Amino acid sequence: MKGFFSPNRHAPHRLFAGPARDQGESAGLGLHSLLNLRSAAGQVFVLQVVIVVLLVAAAVTALVLQAGRDSTREAERQSLTAAVTFANAPGMVQALNSRDPTAVLQPRAEAARKGAGVDFIVVMNTKGIRYTSPDPGRIGKKFVGTIQPSLEGRTIIERVRGLPLHAVGGPDIQAVVPVTGERGSVIGLVSAGKKVHNVTTLFERQLPIIFGTGTVALALSSTGTALVARRLRRQTHGLGPAEMTRMYEHHDAVLHAVREGVLIIGADGQLMLANDEARRLLELPADAERRQVGELDAGMARLLASGEPVTDEVHLAGDRLLAVNLRPTAPYGGQAGWVATLRDTTELAAVTGRAEVARERLTLLYDAGVRMGTTLDVVRTAQELAEVATPRFADIVTVDLLEPVARGEEPTGTTAMRRTAISGGHQEREAPYPVGELIAFLPTTPQMRALEAGRAVLEGDLRRARGWREQHPDRTGRAQEYGVHSLVVVPLQARGVVLGMANFWRTEDSPRFEEEDLSFAEELAARAAVAIDNARRFTREHTMAVTLQRSLLPRGVPQQDALEVAWRYLPAEAGVGGDWFDVIPLPGARVALVVGDVVGHGLHAAATMGRLRTAVHNFSALDLPPDELLAHLDELVTRIDSDESTGNGQQDHDSEAVTGATCLYAIYDPVTGACTIARAGHPGPAVVHPDGTVAYPEVPASPPLGLGGHPFETIELRLPEDSQLVLFTDGLIEDRNRDIDTGLDLLHGALEGEAGRTPDETCQAVIDATLPAHPSDDIALLVARTRLLEPSKVANWDVPQDPAAVAPVRAACVAQLQAWGLEDIGFTTELILSELITNAIRYGSPPIRVRLLYDRSLICEVSDGSSTSPHLRRAKTTDEGGRGLFLVAQFAQRWGTRYMPRGKVIWTEQPLDDGAAAATSDTLTEALLNQFDDPTL
């Protein structure tokens, strides 16, 4: 093993080894130390023992294999001899040709088997049927073995498994011999066999000798190996090969790779060893080893020859400042002498300074990653960049963005930039441009040069930066007077697009920017650019989503007299959601109130909201009850999800499911004051009674839309006049910082109060009390105060199912119109009622009722017990009927059919003003003429 302190790696030394144990201590360790596989001696001992064991095992194995082959050959010989002898025995041919071969051959075969010492002798015919067998139960059965070669006159020997007799396992050897007749043909077969296991060989007698010899050899070799290993253990001090290899590697690493000089000095002051670093630091000659240390530098020679331990004592050696440590070697197991280590503290100080700067800048980059881009606001992100870089990197930081970027738009070809953020210093006087000013930089300025080059530009001395001073001489001159002297401009680029630039300024006593500062400034600007671009993209998408959502929400409340309605819609801070509301006038002066919510945010939620709102409008046109409307809406959402899935039933990665949408649908009838409500996964409404008390009706809960297969239930409330029905989405009562119970308590407190508040005042009170500080979800709020239609404006008649009843009811209706002052539309109303009542009597079933409602328009309703609905068609000139419903459609402003649990209602609406009545009269005349206008006549 090579020495430790040996630059030329030729002198042997013991490395890092402790004091050797004495001979008595080593002898006392005994066999236990020899079996220690971590030591070289233990490994040699175990290896020798393993080799001897393998040799003995190989010899025994070879002998066993040879014995097996001998046993097989002996079994083959015995089987063949027995089979041939019995096949050629006298009387064999006659016995085979006798009437009962078994009676003749069975005793002979058993006697021959016992005499020959085989396990079986079987005689069989040419078809393999046994005549004899040691087991009488097998006589007459098929022989197991190969007989075809023997039928051709050949003798065969084969190895098979399973004897005819029950015996221990093992291979069987059987011979099959043909028995020839007088003419030389084969008339029978004889087979004899023996188990190899039953053959006794010499192996059983030799086995004790083999094992005895192997044991003696093992004992002798182990003893010799133990003696050799014991001596080897004393010489290697019990170390293993891995430890010795590791010590040698440590020797090379410490001596030649360490960045400290190492000197070994003998007790006589002779320099025994100097590593490469020591030679470099002290500029030692090539033959410095074996010289006296007194021949070195005077100051260093006195220190090394002093014979006193030294710790980190600093000495000047040439132009280097060295820290010296001196320690004796004798106490650590080496020869008497000294070890000196030398460290160049001049370079260490420089490295420490650079490391500190790098650490500070890494910390600044970490802080920038944490602080920038937290709000997804372009201006705020630019301000965060300016704030994080001052004053640790620059005294003043300004951020200029291209004009479209701050609005969330894509950067265009313009180079005009707007000052977006400033931080540090006296901003109002040191920064040449204030926040918000639009700047058009000249081509010679550092900003434009950085923009064109796409990388950072350094202006170490602004007094010599002619292009910067020419941009705005007055402003740049004042900035220099206040101490601005150095500038680094970095383009803000993200995804290959320039968004703007960051300007880093240093003033007064701060050192100038150097070239090494550019890479850090670019790294800081790159991180900020990604954050700004993310904020820009978010702003653009948010603006698009808000625009889409605003276009899909109702722009106002339709005119109607049943409810006084007010509403509020507040989008979430994080993004646009899918909340919506609607007020839909229905026939019969009724009004439908709708509030819905699509789970999620963004364009998809807004677009889905628009689809569902349109569907609700379409379904409400059919005048469906709330539960049926929600069932149709649920089926629509399920179909939308299915259509947006791929052909294999999996959701397309470009589409999103609508499942999670909720809706509440209510219909208010001002005639009766009844309000029918159904909901699908949506929060129930609140009702504020005229006395100011608040209640939460128990509307039956149903699952959200899109799950399918679940029924929807309704509840009917009777609301007194001036009651307020409050509908809302879950964003009003639920937030990440509070649970739903707390939100309901806040809502209850806001609604409960003085009576007589308008719906708009109620909306504002609710928003002020329940709105979270930072809404994470959209909020839709709809407040409707109920009104009742005066009883004097409602007229009802029961109609018998008799054509003669049409005239009296018609006359009563005309009289009611005169009482209401609606004589101008009396004629058309009389005609409409005549047609509807006649159709109800002729085609419907009792009970038949007529109702007139005097509201914003005149509403005529004729109901009967039949569910058959009339259909509008154009009658032919030869038809006797079919023109009545056509004329009703021409005279009425609107008409339709509404189904009830029992029967239907056909309704019409007519305007109240005289101009409409005159237009209706003209329409009547034209319609009648068109009905009888046949070009064929």
Task: Report pLDDT digits (tens) over 497-519.
Answer: 889 999 998 888 788 888 888 88
Residue 698 above 70 pLDDT? yes
Q: Residue 726: what residue type?
A: V
Per-residue pLDDT, 167? 44
In this prediction, residue 205 carries a pLDDT of: 63
In this structure, the chain runs to a length of 937
Read off the pTM: 0.54
Between these two residues, 23 and 150, which has the higher pLDDT value?
A: 150
Question: Nearest CA to 395 among 248, 236, 508, 528?
Answer: 508
- Rounded Cα distance, 489 and 498, in Å: 13
Lowest-confidence pick of 22-36, 252-266, 307-321, 798-812: 22-36
First to last CA, the chain: 132
Residue ranges in 88-146 assigned as alpha helix (H): 92-97, 101-116
Higher pLDDT, 129 or 654: 129
Q: Name the range with the highest mean pLDDT among 237-246, 584-593, 597-606, 728-737.
A: 584-593
Tell me the mean pLDDT in the region 745-766. Answer: 88
Lowest average pLDDT, out of 8-22, 96-110, 704-718, 918-932, goes to: 8-22
> Hey, which of 179-183, 207-211, 553-557 has the most confident mean pLDDT?
179-183
pLDDT at res. 583? 94
The pLDDT of residue 13 is 40
Q: Output the pLDDT for position 352.
A: 62
Place of tokens 């002619």: 466
Q: Give the Cα separation of 212 and 218 in Å (integer).
A: 10
Q: Which residues contact 674 (CB under 8 A, 6 or more apart)?
A: 668, 716, 717, 718, 719
Top-confidence residue, 391 or 426 = 391
Q: What average pLDDT does the structure give for the chain? A: 80
843-864 pLDDT, tens per residue?
Answer: 888 899 999 999 888 999 999 9
In the chain, the percentage of residues whose pLDDT exceeds 70 is 82
Instruction: Check if the beta carbon of residue 861 is closer than 8 Å to that of residue 850.
Output: yes
Q: What pLDDT does 726 receive?
A: 95
Read off the pLDDT of residues 785-830 as tens digits, 9 standing for 90 and up. Answer: 999 999 999 999 999 988 888 889 888 999 998 999 888 888 888 8
33 has pLDDT over 80: no
C-alpha to C-alpha distance for 535 and 528, rounded to whole angstroms: 11
Whether the pLDDT of residue 14 is over 50: the answer is no
- Provide the pLDDT for residue 666: 96
The tens digit of pLDDT for each residue in 364-386 reads 888 888 888 878 888 899 998 98
Supply the pLDDT for residue 61. 80
Rounded CA separation 820/803 (Å): 27
CA distances from 468 to 19, 118, 488, 915 (A): 76, 119, 12, 76
847 exposure class (CB count in 10 Å sphere: 0-12, 13-18, 19+) = middle
pLDDT class for 11, splitting at 50, 70, 90? Answer: very low
For residue 649, pLDDT beyond 70: no
**Does residue 7 surpass a pLDDT of 70?**
no
Closest CA to 8 of 273, 249, 262: 273
- The pLDDT, as a whole number, for residue 20 is 40
Radius of gyration for the chain, computed over Cα atoms and rounded to the nearest angstrom: 56
Residue 678 banded pLDDT, cuts 50, 70, 90: very high
DSSP β-ladder status, 171-180 and 156-161: antiparallel
Instruction: Report the candidate in 924, 925, 936 with the shortest Cα–Cα distance to residue 890.
Output: 924
Q: What is the pLDDT, as a whole number, of residue 582?
A: 93
Q: Is pLDDT at 657 greater than 70 in this prediction?
A: no
Q: Which of 159-173, 183-197, 330-344, 653-667 bottoms out in mean pLDDT, i.e. has the lowest?
A: 159-173
Most confident of 4-8, 66-70, 278-282, 512-516: 512-516
In the chain, the largest separation of any two C-alpha atoms, in whole Å, equals 149
Please report the pLDDT score of residue 934 as a whole number: 41
Which range has the worst mean pLDDT, 111-115, 429-433, 510-514, 516-520?
A: 429-433
- 680: pLDDT strictly greater than 50: yes
**Is 269 a residue whose pLDDT tops 50?**
yes
Mean pLDDT of 745-755: 85
Average pLDDT for 707-713: 85
Asked if pLDDT for residue 156 goes beyond 60, the answer is yes
Query: By mean pLDDT, which of 39-53, 407-421, 898-912 is the weakest?
Result: 39-53
> Among positive and negative, which fits the CA dihedral 41, 44, 46, 52?
negative
Task: Please give the pLDDT value at position 699.
Answer: 93
DSSP 875: P
- The string of pLDDT tens digits covering residues 279-303 is 888 778 877 787 887 777 666 777 7
Which residues, 6 or more positions from 427, have their beta carbon under 8 angstroms from its beta carbon?
A: 396, 434
pLDDT at 307 over 90: no
Q: Which pLDDT does position 207 carry in this prediction? A: 67
pLDDT at 260: 81
Stronger pLDDT, 659 or 137, i.e. the higher one? 137
pLDDT at 834 over 80: yes
Report the b/e string of 184-216 with b at 16+ CB within 10 A: eebbbbbbbbbbbebbebeeeeeeeebeeebee
Question: How many C-beta atoms surround the C-beta of residue 19 within 10 A?
Answer: 8
* Average pLDDT estimate for 117-123: 89
Residues 911-927 have pLDDT tens digits of: 887 544 445 555 554 55
Structure tokens at 24: 């008595």
* pLDDT computed for residue 410 by the predictor: 81
CA atoms within 13 A on the CB side of 765: 17
Q: What proportion of the chain, given as a percentage, has pLDDT over 90? A: 18
Higher pLDDT, 38 or 64: 64
In sequence order, what DSSP letters do the residues of 189-237 get, joined into one string?
EEEEEEEGGG---THHHHHHHHHHHHHHHHHHHHHHHHHHHHHHHHHHT
